[in-house]
């Protein structure tokens, strides 16, 4: 695995841990929205995932390198 990929995965993992640790605070502000998180900060949010991705791209941010999570009281199950 390249160093760049390893670095990206480490950052992604840190952001995911931050998301889990701050979930209650995020629920208050972003309930039922998708949030884009990078470097333990919310970059943007939207109720529509496609629109959020478009907004990130418009800012020159690569969505594939950003943690995107849906914030809701009920957990979402995903089949990958």
pLDDT digits (tens, 9 = 90+) for 23-76: 999 999 999 999 999 999 999 999 999 999 999 999 999 999 999 999 998 766
- Report CA-CA distances (Å) from 67 to 7, 19, 30, 36, 59: 14, 9, 15, 6, 16
Contacting residues for 26 by C-beta, under 8 A, at least 6 apart: 19, 35, 42, 71
Residue 78 confidence (pLDDT) above 60: no
How many domains in the chain? Answer: 1
| Residue 79 counted as domain residue | no
Q: Would you say the pTM of this structure is higher than 0.75?
A: yes
| Residue 12 counted as domain residue | yes
Q: Which residues does residue 70 pair with via DSSP β-bridges, in sequence order?
A: 34
Task: Write out the residue range of the structural domain in which residue 35 sits.
Answer: 3-71
| Residue 77 counted as domain residue | no
């Amino acid at each position: 695995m390249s160093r760049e990929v390893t670095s990206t995965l480490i950052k992604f993992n840190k952001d995911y841990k931050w998301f889990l640790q701050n979930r209650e605070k995020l629920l208050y502000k972003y309930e039922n929205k998708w949030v884009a998180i990078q470097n333990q900060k919310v970059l943007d949010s939207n109720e529509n995932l496609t629109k959020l991705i478009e907004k990130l791209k418009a800012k020159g941010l690569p969505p594939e390198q950003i943690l995107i999570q849906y914030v809701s009281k009920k957990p979402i199950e995903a089949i990958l």
